[in-house]
Amino acid sequence: MPVGTWDSLMQNKTDTAFYWVGLSSIPGVGRATFRKLVKQFGSPEQTLNASRKDLLAVGGISRKVVETMDSFAWREQAERELNKASDAGVSIIIADSSEYPGCLKNILDPPLYLYVKGAMKPGDERAVAIVGTRKPSHYGTSVTHRLANEIASAGFTVVSGMARGIDTQAHRGALAAKGRTIAVLGCGIDVAYPPENRELMERISSCGAVVTENPFGTQPEAGYFPARNRIISGLSQGTVIIEASNDSGSLITAQYTLEQNRKLFAVPGNIGMPTSQGTNNLIKGGAILVERTEDILSALGMQQRGRMPEATTRPLPALTPEEEIVLKCVTAEPKHIDVIMAESHTSPGKLSGVLVNLELKGLAKQLAGKYFVREN
């Protein structure tokens, strides 16, 4: 169904979430069937009150679905779902509500309704999605946090998928700027996934929003994540991909971004890294290359509401000659301590002490496996 047809159909309706949840809870009534029935009968409430004869007369609706609609206890199911939402402080925003995001309503297959913990605000229409690998490099982590922080500082909402890795850093970067961020889940809104992000989920809901289209209790099965990705891109004016292999789920989000006629961005990566193949191929295919936050905002034609932090380099603290030599060998790319030792011609015993001092001075950081990176 063309988007305009659905949008005009949903204007000026007064159904409560009760009927929307009730109709969609019936086995066999997916989003397409839901829309077909509402187009025929005018609203979810009128659909649920329609006679079996009238339901059978709707083209493309099977007798089995009609029989299920007649026998399924949708009222009890809807009451349970709405009670859970009330107890959890979760709003259910239906597609004809003024609170429903306009940019999301305009995609080809918008969610029928959203479970929202926190609050969606009109300013969230000015949003940028950031997604990528669940196993980022230090480079990917650093770039993600910086871009998200600067985007949020400039007054825009950062949207991501709450997954490990790039998604988590995108949310954290926005929060560090005291900005808004929206997390889109591939599970129920009462399910913390990954589990270690439960506290992050609570922080996001207190100053942004956690959203999903999935009922309470829905577990994070693989099939739900591609559908979630269309919501991430649908909530955003553009999507930034940071570190993605050729089989990354982030490329699904990239495809949705293009289908939704939104801007697609990619951060270039090290040509020797598998997690750079997807992003670099996107750039080859026409995605906008991102080196700075301004590349994103300029392409979107967005005017800053806030002020991005100025890029500054902190003056170096006083260093000993040995510290100066070692620091020159520590770079933005992780480097093993053995390589640093060979390049700096420093003995193992002395090098360990020098690296500790550089960490204390905020100039270096130790990663897992005795790798070090530059922090200034």
Render pLDDT for 148-194 as a digit per residue (tens, 0 to 9): 999 999 999 999 999 999 999 999 999 999 999 999 999 999 999 99
42 located within any domain: yes
75 pLDDT above the threshold of 50: yes
Query: What residues make up the domain containing 35?
Result: 3-87
The pLDDT, as a whole number, for residue 317 is 87
Give dist(CA 288, CA 293) in Å, integer: 12
Question: 307 pLDDT band (50/70/90 cuts)?
Answer: low
Judging by beta carbons within 10 Å of its beta carbon (0-12, 13-18, 19+), is residue 72 exposed, middle or buried? middle
The reply to whether 282 and 359 lie within a common domain is no
Give dist(CA 109, CA 32) in Å, integer: 9
Judging by beta carbons within 10 Å of its beta carbon (0-12, 13-18, 19+), is residue 76 exposed, middle or buried? exposed
Handedness of CA 134, 137, 140, 142 (dihedral sign): positive
93 located within any domain: no
The reply to whether 295 and 333 lie within a common domain is no
The reply to whether 178 and 230 lie within a common domain is yes
14 located within any domain: yes
103 located within any domain: no
What average pLDDT does the segment 346-370 reach?
90
The reply to whether 355 and 279 lie within a common domain is no
What average pLDDT does the segment 213-242 reach?
97
CB of 263 within 8 A of CB of 129? Answer: no
Give dist(CA 129, CA 242) in Å, integer: 11
The reply to whether 69 and 134 lie within a common domain is no
Average pLDDT, the chain: 91
39 pLDDT above the threshold of 90: yes
182 located within any domain: yes
315 located within any domain: no
CATH number for 250: 3.40.50.450
Give dist(CA 345, CA 358) in Å, integer: 17
The reply to whether 268 and 337 lie within a common domain is no
Total domains, the chain: 3
CATH number for 62: 1.10.150
The reply to whether 248 and 290 lie within a common domain is yes
The reply to whether 172 and 271 lie within a common domain is yes
The pLDDT, as a whole number, for residue 13 is 36
The reply to whether 179 and 216 lie within a common domain is yes
The pLDDT, as a whole number, for residue 3 is 40
The pLDDT, as a whole number, for residue 376 is 65
314 pLDDT above the threshold of 70: no
The reply to whether 211 and 334 lie within a common domain is no
The mean-pLDDT minimum among 117-121, 291-295, 330-334, 351-355 falls in 330-334
Structure-model confidence comparison of residues 368 and 62, the more confident one: 62
The reply to whether 284 and 325 lie within a common domain is no
The reply to whether 136 and 65 lie within a common domain is no
| Residues shown for the chain | 376
Judging by beta carbons within 10 Å of its beta carbon (0-12, 13-18, 19+), is residue 58 exposed, middle or buried? middle
CATH number for 357: 1.10.10.10
